[in-house]
Structure 1
């Protein structure tokens, strides 16, 4: 999973998104500079929340899902049974007792989403799976 983040250059994308978010904040600050301080603060706060929830968090969840997908294939190529990946997330879900933030406020997909996605990608991963000869 973490190797997949590096191969997909998610860190680079994240940096670019952060720069665009900052540029938007600067543009907004210039646009409202003649407004009262309270109005400026309100606009800037609204922009921060909207850009985080509306843009950055969804991209982060997309990156996590891409890394899950690639990681599943990489583990299959390395000779590890991909069927273990959804089992891992089932254990995580069980141990968390369902205590997770709402997915739209999270940087990561929910355990349930991850389990469903991994199962959806399983046929593709199985094309690459050759059990290691231990």
Structure 2
């Protein structure tokens, strides 16, 4: 849940909208300056621009958003008094559907995400210690 809240706090939806609008603007310019709208050449150019935008702009930013949300979410959990170490270790996995490559996907692989989250774990543990010292203890923790 903290991961999804982090997307909101980091304003990822507005960033994504801006990126989508930029891509649509590029496609509109191709249409506007097309010598023969609807021709095979025009459609190939539109397709190439769409693929280029997806692979060069939209997916990399989407992955950046996922990584940022994972880090922010980890720290939010720590601020709320959840120990980030076992929380991270008990996290689910994200396998792609059968037969689907991981490459075109937005989220980084589970292993990659865990490695990246582990990188800032010392800071998260310190945030957790400070939260507990301030009396933050989640009531939903199993006894």
- So what's the TM-score if we normalise by structure 2? 0.80
**Could you say which residue in structure 1 is the equivalent of 2:115?**
116
State how many pairs are aligned. Answer: 130
Determine if contact 2:6/2:72 at 8 Å carries over to the other structure: yes
Write out aligned runs for 1:44-63 (5 A). 44-63=46-65
In structure 2, stretches of 5+ residues that fail to align are: none
Cα displacement (A) at 1:30:
2.0
When you count helix as a share of all residues, which structure comes out higher? 1
Change in Cα spacing, 1:75 to 1:133, as seen in structure 2 (3 Å) is closer
Greater Rg by CA: 2
| Aligned-pair CA distance for 1:34 | 2.8
User: Does the C-alpha gap of structure 1 residues 50 and 78 become closer, same or farther in structure 2, counting only changes over 3 Å?
Assistant: same
Q: Does 1:18 align with 2:17?
A: no
Matches within 5 A, 1:65-80: 65-80=67-82
Question: Shift of residue 98 of structure 1?
Answer: 9.7
Unaligned residue ranges in structure 1 (runs of 5+): none
Following TM superposition, where does structure 1 have runs of at least 4 consecutive aligned residues deviating by more than 6 angstroms? Answer: none
For residues 65 and 20 of structure 1, do their structure 2 counterparts lie closer, same or farther at Cα, with a shift above 3 Å needed?
Answer: same
C-alpha distance in structure 2 between counterparts of 1:124 and 1:80, whole Å: 14
